[in-house]
């Protein structure tokens, strides 16, 4: 079983997906850079969690 994502992570990821969804891919490294560009998060850990969740959602869509 995986880790549970908080409401903050899910909300930010869904907002990003709605506004900039066509820019994100299934590549985690690229999603990290894009997340850093589009969202101001206080730490690298949160940025990586958001990017990872976005990657997971993109892979699930395909």
Please report, in tens digits, the pLDDT of each residue of the chain (62 residues total). 778 999 999 999 999 999 999 999 999 999 999 999 999 999 999 999 999 999 999 999 98
Q: At what angle do helices 44-61 and 28-38 cross, to 10 degrees?
A: 120
Q: How many separate domains does the chain show?
A: 1
Sign for the pseudo-dihedral over CA of 31, 62, 57, 19: positive
Domain with 23 in it: what CATH number? 1.10.60.20
In a domain, 39, yes or no: yes
pTM score of the predicted model: 0.91
Domain assignment of residue 2, yes or no: no
Domain range spanning residue 26? 7-61
Is 1 inside any structural domain? no
């Amino acid at each position: 079983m995986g880790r549970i994502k908080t409401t903050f992570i899910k909300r930010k990821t869904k907002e990003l997906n709605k506004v900039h969804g066509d820019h994100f891919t299934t590549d985690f490294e690229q999603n990290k850079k894009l997340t850093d560009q589009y969202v101001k998060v206080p730490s690298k850990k949160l940025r990586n969690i958001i990017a990872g969740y976005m990657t997971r959602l993109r892979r699930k869509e395909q």
